[in-house]
Amino acid sequence: MPQAAAAADGQLGGAEGWRSELAVAVAFLAGALAALLLLFFAAHELQGMVQSGPYEHLRGDIWNCVDFVSIIAQGLTLFLLVVDYRRAGGGVSVHGDFQASSTCASIALPPAWFSLLYFMLGFEGSGMLARMVIEITRGVRDFVIILAVVVIGFALSFYVLFQAGSMQHDPMTVGDVDVEDEVFGYRNPLAALVSGFALMLGDFDRDEFSASANESLMNVLFVVFQVFVTIIMLNLLIAIMGDIFDKVQEHARAHYLYAKAKIVVEYETALKKKRRPDRALFPEWIQVLKPKRAEENEGELGSAAWAGRIAALKRQLETVRRDVSANVKDVEAVVTGMIDERMDKVDARVLAIDDHLVTLSDRMGKLEQLLARAAGNPKPQEEAQGSD
């Protein structure tokens, strides 16, 4: 029996050693593959910096900044991984021997995965949603600053009250031992800021208010915080996001086509120059984006769920505007024709009146001459009558 047990232990130890060596080999293989991919993307990023300059390259596009941070963090993670492994020696443990590389990896992973959104922009469905996330994040920037100022103010107010209090609540006796629960969320200003953010999301315990210097004041501040931040500001945030959604959705397809063309151009520049004259890979083409007219769009308001309320409303208003404009032009033409016709008649009558006035003026002139003659030579006429 002892020999059998020793043989079993030997087999188990051999199996564990084999698995450990296999795990190390797989880890090194994965690290080598990650290093190769990192070198490829680093060379691509370096090429963009050389072409347009580091500052212009990073300032021109947010994705270049994300890629730059991701590449730097991943390279540092691989370097620290090798350093931690060499420092650990035998009996490597992830919990105790890879703290530096794990910390750096926790920083590198969010931008590395976030950079995948850039490639999702090249697909119509996911690209529209990714663009929506980016534009909403950019649109609520000023609001987030205001919200942060308000939350920080209340969080520090709670921190001062708790620090001036006992920081203990719910005292109770378990046997001969007195147990008190400590308020951990406001031990320092940084923890208070995190607790203020959690309070905005509804994570709070009102029983902890008894550990502050003034429980009544804590309740008043809590109510004001909930009304002003949770009810007013968060609903305002939802309204702002809805408005941005409508604005972005109005031009969602144009954004998608632009992002797709941008990805194609970026990776075309990464190919070798000797392959660029190949018309099979680089055909000559022109992409034209022109807006559709309202009557050419598919569906009406009822089928425009993803078209955005503002976009659908604008299309309908544009249709009404064109119809009204056409009707106004028709009415204007009819009224202008009637006015011109009446003015022609008036002009003709005025000319006729002018002719009559000229005739009357001539007759008045002759009449005046006759009257003048009659008034200036009356006797000769009488003598002539007497001799007759």
Which residues partner with 178 through β-bridges? Answer: 173
> Rg of the chain's alpha carbons, rounded to an integer?
45
Ordered by start, the domain boundaries in the chain are 15-118, 122-168+183-271, 303-373
**Per-residue pLDDT tens for 178-203?**
555 666 678 888 888 988 898 888 88
Q: Which helix (H) or strand (E) holds 181?
A: strand 177-182
pLDDT tens over the chain, length 388 residues:
444 444 444 444 455 555 656 766 777 788 788 888 888 888 878 877 887 788 887 877 788 888 888 889 888 988 888 887 777 766 555 556 677 888 888 888 888 888 888 888 888 778 888 888 888 888 888 999 999 999 999 999 988 888 887 666 555 555 555 555 666 678 888 888 988 898 888 888 777 778 788 888 988 999 999 999 989 998 999 998 888 888 787 777 778 888 888 887 777 776 666 666 666 766 777 767 666 554 444 444 344 444 555 666 777 788 888 888 888 888 888 888 888 888 888 888 888 888 888 888 888 888 888 888 877 655 544 444 444 4
Residue 145 has a pLDDT of 92
Residue 295 has a pLDDT of 43
Tokens of 73: 């963090």
- What letter does residue 231 receive in the DSSP assignment? I
Measured CA distances, 377 to 363, 365, 368, 380, 385 (Å):
22, 19, 15, 6, 14
Residue 151 has a pLDDT of 92
Q: What's the one-letter identity of residue 349?
A: R
Share of the chain above pLDDT 90, in %: 8
Which residues partner with 173 through β-bridges? Answer: 178
How far apart CA 278 and CA 269 sit, in angstroms, is 14
Measured CA distances, 133 to 118, 128, 153, 234, 249 (Å):
12, 9, 28, 17, 12
Mean pLDDT of the chain: 76
Q: pTM for the complete prediction? A: 0.59
Which residues partner with 182 through β-bridges? Answer: 168
Helices (H), the chain: 2-52, 54-60, 62-88, 94-97, 99-114, 116-120, 124-139, 141-164, 189-200, 215-225, 234-250, 252-268, 309-376, 379-387
Q: Are 315 and 297 in contact (CB under 8 A)?
A: yes
Which residues partner with 16 through β-bridges? Answer: none
Tokens of 191: 């923890």
